[in-house]
């Protein structure tokens, strides 16, 4: 069973990776229609168009640069570089530890860095300008951010010593979990509260999309919720009070026009508006 999964992901065709992405979009869109968290009254199709444009640019960047990830993974395995290459673990343990470390180094850490390094934030903020967070928001990434993220994923794969099957298993899980935690779905309270001990749920991640700090600088996680708890960036709020977006870019032009969104990283930096410490949700 484990061997089947591993050999599948070791050589997963790029068409299957696209199918996972599209399948996730369709699946979570259907769940959103059935049990929406926020009203669906925001022109879902029109809203989806902008996000699908940025999803396509993400796919393109990954398609053209994937070879560098494949080469890096082949190189670490061939040269015995990286944490997993230095120890001899049972396959199941290697899988769990590998996924945990890839999520920490390939998602949580770069996401934190993108929020704290000005020029990277200017690319990442395009993801945050979305004022209606739903499944299509998951891959709303400026092409520049897609390149930054791929570079971090390569660095993570080298540090972890990740074989090909782990890289692709991680990336597939990362896509689906990101779609899940961005989804505009309401889960039964008991289910959300149970799942959030292990994975990032919609309730948890949506806090990160609040338009003002400090909430936009909390709940960075993508797959596992452990990292936010461990590094003190985990918070729970009354989600009904959330306002999605980013305080410096709230105009229709800055949130809905593809041409403008592509230009934002190259414009003058706008400081976050100061937040009152009393503003607790
Ligand atoms: Zn963010």
Would you give the distance in Å from CA 235 to the centre of its chain? Answer: 18
φ/ψ of 36, rounded to 5, equals -70, 145
Q: What is the pLDDT of residues 180-231, one digit of tens each?
A: 999 988 888 899 999 999 999 999 999 999 988 888 889 999 999 999 999 9
The model's confidence at residue 178, banded by pLDDT at 50, 70 and 90, is: very high
Considering 73-82, 215-224, 247-256, the range whose residues carry the highest mean pLDDT is 215-224
Length of the chain (residues) = 281
Q: Is the pLDDT of residue 169 over 50?
A: yes
* DSSP for residue 280: -
Split at pLDDT 50, 70, 90, the class of 279 is: low
24 vs 139, residue with greater confidence = 139
Look up the pTM and report it.
0.88
- Per the model's pLDDT, the better-predicted residue between 152 and 255 turns out to be 152
Model pLDDT, residue 37: 66
Helix, strand, or coil (residue 32) = helix
Q: Which residues contact 134 (CB under 8 A, 6 or more apart)?
A: 29, 32, 44, 47, 182, 183, 184
- In the reported structure, the alpha carbon of residue 115 is separated from the centroid of ligand 1 by a whole-number distance in angstroms of 6
Average pLDDT, the chain: 86
pLDDT category at 39 given cuts 50, 70, 90 is low
Whether residue 150 lies inside any domain: the answer is: yes
Ligand 1 centre distance from Cα of residue 279 (Å): 20
Question: Is 275 among the domain residues?
Answer: no
Domain assignment present for residue 276? The answer is no
Q: Compute the distance between CA of residue 208 and CA of residue 210 in angstroms, rounded to an integer.
A: 6
CA-CA distance, 217 to 50, in Å (whole number)? Answer: 24
Q: What is the pLDDT of residue 110?
A: 95
Cα(73) to centroid of ligand 1, in Å? Answer: 27
- Cα(12) to ligand 1 centroid in Å equals 29
Range with top average pLDDT, 31-40, 104-113, 165-174, 252-261: 104-113
Distance, in Å, from the CA atom of 265 to the CA atom of 73, rounded to the nearest integer, reads: 31
How confident is the model at residue 230, as a pLDDT?
Answer: 95
Domain span at 54: 2-266
- Has residue 278 been placed in a domain? no
117 secondary structure, DSSP code:
S
Q: At what angle do helices 44-79 and 14-34 cross, to 10 degrees?
A: 140
Residue 277 included in any domain: no
Rounded to the nearest angstrom, the distance between the alpha carbon of 208 and the centre of ligand 1 is 7
What is the whole-number distance in angstroms between the Cα of residue 111 and the centre of ligand 1?
A: 6
- Higher-confidence position of 94 and 36: 94
Cα(276)–Cα(212) distance, integer angstroms: 10
Q: Where is pLDDT greater, at 214 or 114?
A: 114
Least confident of 216-225, 232-241, 263-272: 263-272
Tell me if 217 is assigned to some domain: yes
CA of 114 to the centre of ligand 1 (A): 7
Pairwise CA distance, residues 35 & 174, whole Å: 23
Query: Count of domains in the chain?
Result: 1
Which pLDDT score is estimated for 278? 44
Residue 176 lies in a domain: yes
| Main-chain phi, psi angles of 248, to 5 degrees | -80, -15
Burial class (CB within 10 angstroms; exposed 0-12, middle 13-18, buried 19+) of 27: middle
Beta-carbon-side half-sphere exposure of residue 252 (alpha carbons within 13 Å)? 1
206: in domain = yes
For residues 23-38, give the mean pLDDT.
72
């Amino acid at each position: 069973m484990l061997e089947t999964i591993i050999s599948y992901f070791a050589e997963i065709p790029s068409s299957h990776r696209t199918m996972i992405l599209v399948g996730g979009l369709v699946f979570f869109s259907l769940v959103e229609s059935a049990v929406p968290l926020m009203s669906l009254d925001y022109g879902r199709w029109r809203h989806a168009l902008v996000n699908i444009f940025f999803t396509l640019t993400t796919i393109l960047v990954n398609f053209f640069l994937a070879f560098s990830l494949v080469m890096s993974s082949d190189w670490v395995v061939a040269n015995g570089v990286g944490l997993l290459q230095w120890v001899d673990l049972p396959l199941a343990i290697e899988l769990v530890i590998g996924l945990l470390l890839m999520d920490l180094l390939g998602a949580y850490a770069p996401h934190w860095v993108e929020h704290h390094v000005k020029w990277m934030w200017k690319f990442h903020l395009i993801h945050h300008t979305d004022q209606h967070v739903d499944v299509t928001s998951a891959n709303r990434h400026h092409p520049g951010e897609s390149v930054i993220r791929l570079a971090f994923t390569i660095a993570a794969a080298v540090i972890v010593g990740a074989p090909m099957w782990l890289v692709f298993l991680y990336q597939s899980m990362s896509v689906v979990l990101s779609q899940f935690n961005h989804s505009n779905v309401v889960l039964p309270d008991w289910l959300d509260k149970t799942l959030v001990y292990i994975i990032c749920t919609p309730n948890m991640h949506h806090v990160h999309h609040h338009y003002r700090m400090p909430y936009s600088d909390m709940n960075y996680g993508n797959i596992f919720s452990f990292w936010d708890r461990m590094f003190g960036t985990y918070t729970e709020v009354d989600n009904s009070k959330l306002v999605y977006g980013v305080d410096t870019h709230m105009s229709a032009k800055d949130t809905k026009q593809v041409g403008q969104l592509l230009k934002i990283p190259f414009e003058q930096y706008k400081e976050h508006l100061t937040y009152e410490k009393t503003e607790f949700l």
